[in-house]
Structure 1
């Protein structure tokens, strides 16, 4: 027989109620964004919760669906809000703003981009601002920026961190694979050395996932980058090389 943990459900509802109360007193565009994110997260969570409700033992099927939907809504709303909050805090720490425009990555003047979805925050560091030519070691300036992100991560020890390196297509695939892995690993180690408690993973994609065709110097510079993903939980982790 399957059981539904009522205590967990009530706690989840209470958490969302508290978080909603925290945002309701704000003014300006950020409040609109937070509310929209909460609505999206709540809707997704509710749909997932219906499936959960179907597996809850005891009671009618319709009642179980309702319970599952409410529980899923609470969880989904909380996760969406948390990612929105982390994105804003990361952007503030780096003296920038959250930019969810998908075309931002194609702007050569944007050497640092913070964006987010309901499941993760994504930070793009351009290669030129992170490493010296043919080096896998972060520059002092890059290390300083990474330290600012660490300050935010200390507040969210359950956030999973994934660091991903990308290159342009010059040179062999194997060379670029090794270079992208070393750069991602070194950035990950820089984060880890700050003593944070988050799980940290690193990965190199070589030139498997360009953001622009490798047809000229400008585009190649866009493709050389390190991306840092901050995931809400293990289920949100994606294969960033595909």
Structure 2
């Protein structure tokens, strides 16, 4: 096994060098929080490359081919990972633009009561959070006309990414029973999902989390307002899909 370590290490170094050369989504903006945005192109290249190198180096049927396969696997994995990372970075940027905001990966952004809309992304997905007051009237699961118009602004962007898996997720505060809030969160997520799906061929799913995933403790009216929200997740593939009620 030791004689295969060098080729894998060599391919890993090549992956790190490749990740330094992949394109980014552009320069930083004056937004102070924009500095928290991540370059998922590089992250995807590194992770994909290392996995590709390991798989390539351990699946060759002849010892003489292990080194070559490790390097090839690393290069292919890096290219695939970089493509996925770049797509997520670009998609987040384009969605933010049509919603008249910027990508904000500051963990505190969603806890800021002044932010009724937050677009963020990781190396696995893009997330668009809509705060409840701008989306629904009290006890209603139908998006307001202005909310529907805002959601539909994303459709031309999403049409460019027809492999994207879309998931709408509803969250509530803890007033009322869990079952009531589960039904309400599901209905709101379904309504938002249907609004998105009306202009797309992409698979769109909906899920309600009731009050199981609060942003802040439900100890004040301000915190409860933070927790009432709908999130739209954009995944590049099935392997990236998470359970947003738990993760």
Q: 1:216 aligns with which of 214, 220, 231?
A: 220
Inter-partner Cα distance in structure 2 for 1:34 and 1:207? 28
Shift of residue 151, structure 1, vs aligned partner: 1.4
Tell me, yes or no, if structure 1 residue 52 matches structure 2 residue 55.
yes
Q: 1:39 aligns with which of 32, 39, 42?
A: 42
Aligned to 1:189: 194
8 A Cα contact 2:170 2:186, kept in partner: yes
Inter-partner Cα distance in structure 1 for 2:193 and 2:129? 14
Shift of residue 56, structure 1, vs aligned partner: 4.6
Aligned to 2:28: 29
Shift of residue 62, structure 1, vs aligned partner: 2.2
Aligned to 1:9: none
Q: Which ranges in structure 2 are unaligned for 5 or more consecutive residues?
A: 1-17, 30-34
CA deviation string 1:160-218 (max 9, x = no partner): 00000000000000000000000000100111112x11110000000000010000000
Normalising by structure 2, we get a TM-score of: 0.84
State the number of aligned residues: 222
Q: 1:134 aligns with which of 112, 122, 139?
A: 139
Shift of residue 48, structure 1, vs aligned partner: 1.6
Normalising by structure 1, we get a TM-score of: 0.85
Tell me, yes or no, if structure 1 residue 225 matches structure 2 residue 229.
yes
Q: Which ranges in structure 1 are unaligned for 5 or more consecutive residues?
A: 1-15
Aligned to 1:151: 156
Aligned to 2:244: 240
DSSP 3-state at the match of 2:170: strand
